């Protein structure tokens, strides 16, 4: 059994959050202000496939006295499965990383326009121009389209929008050929950062596939897994801690905050971080 150290190690740490640079609701500055209110002392902004929000977040964090490390949530592919890898505390100017992010931007833009075309067929007649406009300032995800479907009265809730239109097999779903897992890990490693497998239990993998994923993640240079993540229950935290120990991976903590109840937890959610796990943040510069 794990001893849950409810005091120092997990207090005020949130290493998985989103802003308007991707599908979060708050601007980077608003997010950092909110983090201060929530008692967060160590924060990472980890937008989907972009580091565009980091400058503004860093400026605000300095002004408010919060420690902010660079972050990103990369979309990668493993065995035809879409996987999220969090990069932390890297140099945002890293050459491989910036070209990798350009590649991801092109993939996202292409997919977003394909989804928008489907939404036009569903009667949202300005979906393509809406998307083109949105793309100028944010990395577009399916969450943006879910919100659009709700705003335009096509669905009552975000959940319903995903279920009816945006999940695999649905009318407006489009798969994306994300770069391989190894590419994402290399980009972060080459820019001096640390890699975390995000929300390991949210990929719908059976235990043997998950074990295979964790084995490969470790073998190709992965550093940590999100032991405490967004919607994870105490039991799931224990399960992830077990995986971390089995594969000698470090552990991370993140709310996956998006600024609303759409997904993730409140910012800075105090998670019980198992004392037996080595925290990924102890090695930050």
Tell which one of 9, 77, 84, 194 touches Mn ion (CB under 5 A).
84
Closest CA to 106 of 135, 71, 144, 85: 135
| Smallest distance, ligand AMP to C-beta of residue 48, A | 6
Closest-CA residue to 256 (of 12, 4, 46): 46
What x/- string results for residues 137 through 166 when contact with ligand AMP is judged by CB under 6 A?
A: ----xxx--------------xx--x----
Residue 75 binding target from Mn ion, ligand AMP, none, CB below 5 to 8 Å by type: ligand AMP
Q: Does 77 bind ligand AMP (CB under 6 A)?
A: no
9 binds Mn ion (CB under 5 A): no
Query: Is residue 47 involved in binding Mn ion (CB under 5 A)?
Result: no
Least distance CB 142 / ligand AMP (angstroms):
4
CB of 174 to ligand AMP, least distance (A): 9
Q: Tokens for 13?
A: 């740490």
23-62 footprint of ligand AMP as x/- string (CB under 6 A): x------------------------x--------------
Q: Which is nearer to ligand AMP, 57 or 140 (CB)?
A: 140
Query: 10 Å Cβ neighbour count for 216?
Result: 14
Q: Where are the beta strands (DSSP E) in the chain?
A: 4-5, 13-14, 42-44, 67-69, 71-78, 81-88, 194-197, 224-229, 250-254, 273-274
- Minimum gap (Å) between residue 225 Cβ and Mn ion: 13
Of 65-73, 124-132, 184-192, 241-249: span binding Mn ion (CB under 5 A)? 65-73
Q: Which one, 9 or 48, has the nearer CB to ligand AMP? A: 48
Note every long-range contact of 263-267, with CB atoms under 8 Å and residues 24 or more positions apart, other chains counting.
263/143, 263/230, 263/231, 264/16, 264/18, 264/230, 264/231, 265/230, 265/231, 266/38, 267/14, 267/17, 267/31, 267/34, 267/35, 267/38, 267/40
Residue pair 194/188 in contact by the 8 Å Cβ criterion: yes
- Minimum distance between the CB of residue 73 and Mn ion, rounded to whole angstroms? 5
Residue 162 burial (C-beta neighbours within 10 Å; 0-12, 13-18, 19+): buried
Q: Which is nearer to Mn ion, 129 or 177 (CB)?
A: 177
Q: Which residues bind Mn ion (CB under 5 A)?
A: 23, 73, 84, 198, 256
């Amino acid at each position: 059994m794990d001893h849950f150290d409810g005091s120092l190690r997990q207090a005020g740490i949130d290493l998985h959050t989103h802003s308007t640079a991707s599908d979060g609701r708050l601007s980077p500055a608003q997010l950092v202000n909110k983090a201060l209110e929530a008692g967060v002392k160590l924060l990472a902004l980890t937008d989907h496939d972009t580091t565009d929000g980091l400058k503004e977040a860093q400026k605000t964090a300095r002004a408010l006295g919060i420690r902010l490390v660079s972050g990103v949530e990369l979309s990668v592919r493993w065995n035809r499965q879409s996987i999220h890898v969090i990069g932390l505390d890297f140099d945002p100017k890293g050459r491989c990383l910036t070209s990798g992010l350009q590649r991801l931007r092109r993939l996202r833009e292409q997919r977003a326009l394909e989804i928008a075309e489907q939404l036009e067929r569903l009667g949202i007649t300005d979906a393509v121009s809406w998307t083109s406009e949105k793309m100028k300032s944010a990395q577009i995800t399916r969450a943006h389209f879910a919100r659009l479907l709700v705003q335009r009265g096509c669905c009552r809730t975000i959940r319903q929008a995903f279920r009816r239109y945006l999940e695999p097999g649905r009318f407006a779903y489009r798969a994306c050929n994300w770069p391989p897992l190894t590419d994402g890990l290399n980009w972060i490693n080459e820019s001096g950062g640390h890699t975390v497998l995000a929300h390991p239990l949210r990929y719908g993998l059976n235990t043997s596939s998950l074990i295979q994923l964790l084995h490969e993640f470790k073998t190709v240079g992965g550093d940590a897994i999100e032991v405490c993540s967004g919607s994870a229950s105490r039991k799931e935290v224990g399960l992830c801690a077990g995986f971390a120990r089995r594969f000698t991976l470090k552990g991370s903590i993140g709310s996956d905050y998006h600024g609303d109840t759409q997904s993730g937890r409140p910012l800075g959610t105090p998670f019980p971080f198992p004392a037996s796990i080595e925290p990924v943040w102890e090695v930050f510069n």
